[in-house]
Structure 1
Amino acid sequence: MNRPQTMLGAQYFRYGPPEVLQVNEVPVPEPRPKELLLRVIACSVNRADAIARSGGTRLTNGPRFPKGTGVDVVGEVVARGGDCSRHEVGDVVWGYVGMATMGTTGTAAQYATIDEGSVSRAPRVDDLPAAAALPLVGMTALQALRNRLTVRTDERVLVVGASGGVGSSAVQIAQLLGAEVSSVSGSDNRELCRALGVAQAYSYEALPDPRAVTAFDAIFDCTGVDIGRYRRYLAPGGRMATIAPGGLPTVLGSSLSRRRVSFLPVKVVPDDLAWIASAVESGGLRPVIDRRYPLADIARAHEYVATAHTRGKSVVIP
């Protein structure tokens, strides 16, 4: 398949605010032996992207510039390395590049490379750009609920931060696993949570007394804020996990408690991506899209995602 020699890609040459992002004409990357080259249909913007760009992960992200941004992707395979065998040119796939593997460009570009072991077939849906919202948040929610919290049928699950990208996915995935799900979100997002099927939609500002609520078998926290407060809603012997680094002090302090809290890092698992794709195709999981941006507005997308008021995810379309 013919492809151009150059493309447009988002880069930054120093850590800083969203304004450091530039859209430049750069060479189309060449796939390594185990990589696919994708024509990017869409990518999404995660809060982790904004943290990395601002320098919050500079110890692991390194000092070399320029750097790319974007880790989620839906795209068409246009070339593949010599060791690739699972996908053909022309396949439409989706995946998660990983925060540590971005080079001078990420998935916020017209073309991107990705390890073949980090993708699966994309869901067959009409709105492919919306699907780009799900690889990272979907795997995070699935691995937390199914693997770490071992959510089972008829259990009561509370999702804290339920209107965000991970939280809105978790609400739906927990229901697919057979749980009765309740949510905690901002008061202006309670209707969104109700539309996603929760049994009870609580707000941060008006939580009931824990003694007035039947205790939850599992709690999934997406915020890292006031974890000790939410742990009071957990049944003795129940399970609680957080994905937010801000919750680590509570995680460490709960090691001897009957209401332990664990921390969950996400792993790239193609079978999990395939599970999520099937859930999307069946209608059991839908991406919640807040905003869509052209690649030229990548700085605006970063600025918006860094706020605390997003609903679901924002996607970028090259």
Structure 2
Amino acid sequence: MKAVQITSYGAADVLRVNEVDRPAPGAGEVLVSVEASSVNGHDVIIRAGEMKMVSGRRFPIGTGLDFAGTVAATGADVEGYRAGDRVWGMVHPRQRHTTAGAAEYVVVSADRIAHAPAGLSPVDAASLVVTGATALIALRDSVHLAGGERILVRGAAGGVGTAAVQLARAMGGHVTALARGHHAQLLTGLGADEVRDYGSTTSDQIGPFDVIVDTVGTELNCYRSRLGKGGRMVTVGLSASALAAIAASSVYGARRIRTFSANPGSAVLRDLAKHVTSGALRPVVHSVYPLADIAAAHEAFERGGAVGKHVVAVSA
């Protein structure tokens, strides 16, 4: 089978599409025939060598955190799935993989997949796995958004941002989206009550907010100051400076800056599917690349400025 592998740490040109043996599922595992995967920050960070304590120094290393496709086979003790079922899921982000979601087949534990929403194409499904799950965990489990609360989504045009705008609206929040001004029509269509241009809007010109969801990871203290009484903030844009700001914010108690490791299992994916089925959440895909051009997809991700997700079509 074809699988994208990291051959050494570095820029996108270290990615190779190699021929490898097709894996077989063990007990409690499922073999998925992958139709699409997407490019996530985790993939780029691993490839660049910024998480060597997790990925190690032995090559090759698989890439592709998420996937959508069909069940090809199941191992012993797997219930609820059979060959031909359409599924979506993700590999474990803290485990080392020689092949991962950007491959023709992937083996994962059955508790890391769920049935994909009916009517959603593999490309659309792959675009929502990590972004949708991250936004759902942030809003529901981290900051506990309640109906009627004022929420700011910073970096609203990105993958997590577009999902967060939609889910926040579905949860009854009054949504302010901060993004490039020319994305206003799209974000309003996704459910934003107000769109502010980050190029001409400073943090002290907006708010106060009950909830802030940040996907950028910069100027965190400035935005934290825009929380009202009882406000909560979470960031998913992690960097060295962001981690320092998160640690320093602990003195503010409930108004500190929160973060979390998005590592969704089947339960979160099933909940996410309900939001898709209800019409509350729809995919936003910026571009689709064939598997052979995954290096170009990584480069596009690193350039930034995308609206939604870069997706890799594994099967034609």
Shorter-chain TM-score: what band?
Answer: over 0.9
Q: Is 2:231 aligned against 1:244?
A: no
Per-residue CA deviations over 1:25-83 (Å, capped at 9, x if unaligned) read 11111112121001111111112211111111112111111111101111111111112
For residue 26 of structure 1, what is the aligned residue in structure 2? 20
Shift of 1:15: 0.6
Percent identical pairs in the alignment equals 39
For residue 300 of structure 1, what is the aligned residue in structure 2? 296
CA contact (8 A) 2:289 2:297 kept: yes
- The code of the aligned residue for 1:281 comes to T
Shift of 1:213: 4.2
For residue 57 of structure 1, what is the aligned residue in structure 2? 51
Shift of 1:230: 1.2
Q: Select 1:186's aligned residue among 172, 176, 180.
A: 180
SS at match of 1:151: coil
Shift of 1:200: 1.3
Gaps of 5+ in 2: none
Alpha-carbon spacing, 1:66–1:213, altered in 2? closer, same or farther (3 Å):
closer
What TM-score, normalized by structure 2, do the two folds share? Answer: 0.94
SS at match of 2:199: helix
For residue 162 of structure 1, what is the aligned residue in structure 2? 156
For residue 256 of structure 1, what is the aligned residue in structure 2? 251
For residue 174 of structure 1, what is the aligned residue in structure 2? 168
Q: Stretches of 4+ moved more than 4 A in 1?
A: none
- The code of the aligned residue for 1:225 comes to T
Q: Is 2:209 aligned against 1:230?
A: no
CA root-mean-square deviation: 1.5
SS at match of 1:281: helix
CA distance in 2, matches of 1:176, 1:315: 25
- The code of the aligned residue for 1:317 comes to A
Alpha-carbon spacing, 1:305–1:160, altered in 2? closer, same or farther (3 Å):
same
SS at match of 1:306: helix
CA distance in 2, matches of 1:269, 1:62: 24
CA contact (8 A) 2:55 2:95 kept: no
SS at match of 2:127: coil
For residue 269 of structure 1, what is the aligned residue in structure 2? 265
Q: Select 2:308's aligned residue among 288, 309, 312.
A: 312
Matches within 5 A, 1:274-285: 274-285=270-281
SS at match of 2:18: strand
SS at match of 1:201: strand
CA contact (8 A) 1:12 1:65 kept: yes
Shift of 1:204: 1.8
Number of residue equivalences: 311
CA contact (8 A) 2:149 2:173 kept: yes
Query: Mean Cα displacement is larger for which, 177-186 or 115-124?
Result: 177-186
CA distance in 2, matches of 1:269, 1:238: 28
For residue 125 of structure 2, what is the aligned residue in structure 1? 131
- The code of the aligned residue for 2:181 comes to S
CA contact (8 A) 2:55 2:96 kept: no
Gaps of 5+ in 1: 1-6
